[in-house]
Amino acid sequence: METAAYLNDSGIALTEANRPYEAIPLFQKALGIEPGNPLLWLNLGIAQQKTGEYQEALESYQRAVYIDDELSEPWGAMGLIYYELDQFEYAEKCYNNAIERDPNSPKIWNNLGVLFFSKGYLEEARRCFEEALIHLPMYYDALFNLRDTCRELSDYRAAAEFERILQGYEGNNAKRPSPP
């Protein structure tokens, strides 16, 4: 007998294997068993987002938040969708909601920094990238973004330091750590 947990784990594996179209029916079947499980809605949204079904993904994330408003992940995921749709005001609100729920998430801080950088708010972007690095000091994406932001701010000394750290990654063929 297939359980919601089994279907969820299988769906996650398919999504991570870049097979989200195959994962979506598994998450939907799991939701038939446990419709009140916010993590199933979150995982369905992630798979839908990977297929470009942004409206469906937003609805899934909203269901997850409706069930458990303390989850940060659906807020961060909605922020990313709105960012990709150039709806920066909504993206910023979602990222701020995510940070309220998980102020220690380097990924959310980095994404908010990217948003500010895109809007030309370089000091705010720098602050966000620095905050991401407080929580995950060798987070490649935040180091890369902070280096570029420092260059844009004409802080060449800091940019050179971040460049040195980034070259250490490439010179050692080190694996880039993913944020939690």
Average pLDDT, the chain: 94
Residue-wise pLDDT for 40-98, tens only, equals 999 999 999 999 999 999 999 999 999 999 999 999 999 999 999 999 999 999 999 99
User: What percent of the chain has a predicted confidence (pLDDT) above 70?
Assistant: 94
Instruction: Determine the pLDDT at residue 168.
Output: 85
Instruction: Determine the pLDDT at residue 85.
Output: 96
Instruction: Determine the pLDDT at residue 178.
Output: 55
Instruction: Determine the pLDDT at residue 176.
Output: 54
CA distance 97 to 116: 16
Looking at the structure, do residues 118 and 47 belong to the same domain, yes or no? no
Range of the domain at 118: 103-180
Which region holds residue 18: left if phi is over 0, alpha if psi is between -120 and 50, else beta?
A: left
Give the domain CATH number at 125: 1.25.40.10
Looking at the structure, do residues 50 and 129 belong to the same domain, yes or no? no
At which of 45, 74, 102 does a domain end?
102
Looking at the structure, do residues 72 and 27 belong to the same domain, yes or no? yes
CA distance 153 to 122: 7
Domain count, the chain: 2
Instruction: Determine the pLDDT at residue 169.
Output: 76
Looking at the structure, do residues 68 and 114 belong to the same domain, yes or no? no
Instruction: Determine the pLDDT at residue 171.
Output: 57
At which of 84, 102, 120 does a domain end?
102
Looking at the structure, do residues 86 and 114 belong to the same domain, yes or no? no
Looking at the structure, do residues 142 and 69 belong to the same domain, yes or no? no
User: What percent of the chain has a predicted confidence (pLDDT) above 90?
Assistant: 91
Query: Dihedral, CA atoms, 82, 103, 50, 66, nearest 10 degrees?
Result: -80
Our measurement of the distance from residue 139's CA atom to the centroid of its chain's CA atoms, rounded to an integer in Å, reads: 13
Looking at the structure, do residues 14 and 28 belong to the same domain, yes or no? yes
Quick one: pLDDT band at residue 155, thresholds 50, 70, 90?
A: very high
At which of 50, 70, 102 does a domain end?
102
Looking at the structure, do residues 112 and 95 belong to the same domain, yes or no? no
Name the pTM for this structure. Answer: 0.89
